[in-house]
C-alpha cells in the first residue's frame, strides 16, 4: 500500500480544487440575482424583470470583486463553480480520505447534500490520484433543492427552500462528473429527502459522511461509522474527527 502520491498527482488535486471552486475565474464571484421575496414595489419590479429575462434564457448578474478569503473559507456561492464549500473544506476531505487510505480503513465516501457535485467530484479525484478503485462515492440529495423548515430543530439552519439556485438535477451532477472524466460505476446516487432515502440506501460502510445532522443520524442507524468529516457549507469552521472502527 502506497503511503504517498506522486508530485504530479498532488498537483492534479490542487488544480482540481481550484477548478471546482472556480477560484481561477474572477467572474465566479459575480452574483446571479433571483426574484426573492416580494416586499414592496421595487422587489416586485425586479422579480418581474428577472422572470422576463429568464423566459429569453437571460440572467441578471451583479458584478462583484473576487475575494480569495471568502472562497477559501466557503463564504460565497461561486456563480460558475461546482462546489461552495471552499478550499479549506476540500483540503479537509482530502486529509480524511488519505488517512483512511493509508490506514487501510474500509468504507465508502458519502456526501449528503451535493449541490452541483463538486465535493464528491473532488473525493473521486482523490481516490483516482491514489489509484483506489474499490471504494464507492455516494451522493445523497433531493436533486430538487432544499426542503422547507418545519420544526424548531430545523430552524437552527437558514431557510433556503425558495432558492432555486440550489436545485440541481441528478443529470446535471452526472454531467459535471463527466467533464472531469470521473463518472464510472463506483459513483452512486441516492435521491430523496435524507429522513427517508438514507434509511433504505444500499450503503454498507461509510468512511466519510457529509454535511447535515439528519444525514449523520440516519446513516448511523444502519451502517458502521469509520470516520467523520462534518462539513456545513455555511458554517464558519469545518471540524474533522477520525473515529476508531465501531465508534
134 backbone dihedrals φ, ψ, rounded to 5°: -110, 15
Does residue 162 carry a pLDDT above 90?
no
Query: In whole angstroms, how far apart are CA 26 and each of 22, 34, 84?
Result: 8, 21, 15
Give tens-digit pLDDT for 190-203: 999 877 777 777 77
Active site residue 67: no
DSSP 111: E
Give tens-digit pLDDT for 135-161: 999 999 999 988 888 877 777 778 888
Say if residues 186 and 139 touch (Cβ distance below 8 Å).
no
Catalytic position from the list 76, 91, 141, 184: 91
Coil, helix or strand at residue 201: coil
**pLDDT score for 200:** 73
Say if residues 112 and 194 touch (Cβ distance below 8 Å).
yes
Does residue 205 carry a pLDDT above 90?
no
The answer for residues whose C-beta is within 8 angstroms of residue 184's C-beta and 6 or more apart is none
**pLDDT score for 210:** 42
Which of the residue ranges 101-110, 184-193, 221-230 would you say has the lowest mean pLDDT? 221-230
- Comparing 107 with 155, the larger pLDDT belongs to 107
177 backbone dihedrals φ, ψ, rounded to 5°: -60, -40
Q: Average pLDDT, whole number, for the chain?
A: 81
Query: In whole angstroms, how far apart are CA 195 and each of 5, 78, 191, 220?
Result: 38, 28, 11, 12
d(CA 196, CA 226): 22
Whole-structure pTM value = 0.80
Burial class (CB in 10 A: 0-12, 13-18, 19+), 239: exposed
Amino acid at each position: 500500500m502506497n503511503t504517498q502520491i506522486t508530485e504530479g498527482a498532488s498537483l492534479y488535486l490542487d488544480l482540481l480544487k481550484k477548478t471546482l471552486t472556480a477560484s481561477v475565474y474572477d467572474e465566479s464571484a459575480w452574483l446571479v440575482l433571483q426574484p426573492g421575496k416580494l416586499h414592496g414595489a421595487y422587489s416586485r419590479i425586479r422579480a418581474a424583470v428577472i422572470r422576463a429575462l429568464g423566459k429569453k434564457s437571460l440572467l441578471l448578474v451583479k458584478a462583484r470583486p473576487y475575494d480569495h478569503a471568502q472562497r477559501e473559507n466557503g463564504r460565497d456561492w461561486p456563480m460558475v463553480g461546482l462546489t461552495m464549500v471552499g478550499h479549506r473544506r476540500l483540503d479537509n476531505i482530502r486529509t480524511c480520505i488519505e488517512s483512511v487510505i493509508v490506514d487501510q480503513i474500509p468504507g465508502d465516501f458519502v456526501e449528503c447534500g451535493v449541490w452541483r457535485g463538486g465535493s464528491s467530484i473532488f473525493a473521486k479525484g482523490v481516490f483516482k490520484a491514489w489509484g483506489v478503485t474499490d471504494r464507492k462515492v455516494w451522493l445523497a440529495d433531493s436533486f430538487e433543492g432544499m426542503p422547507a423548515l418545519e420544526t424548531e430543530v430545523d430552524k437552527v439552519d437558514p431557510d433556503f427552500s425558495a432558492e432555486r439556485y440550489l436545485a440541481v438535477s441528478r443529470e446535471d451532477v452526472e454531467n459535471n462528473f463527466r467533464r472531469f472524466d470521473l463518472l464510472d460505476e463506483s459513483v452512486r446516487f441516492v435521491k430523496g429527502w435524507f429522513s427517508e432515502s438514507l434509511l433504505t440506501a444500499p450503503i454498507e460502510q461509510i468512511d466519510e459522511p457529509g454535511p447535515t445532522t439528519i444525514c449523520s443520524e440516519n446513516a448511523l442507524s444502519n451502517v458502521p461509522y469509520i470516520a467523520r468529516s462534518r462539513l456545513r457549507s455555511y458554517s464558519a469552521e469545518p471540524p474533522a474527527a477520525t473515529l476508531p472502527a465501531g465508534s
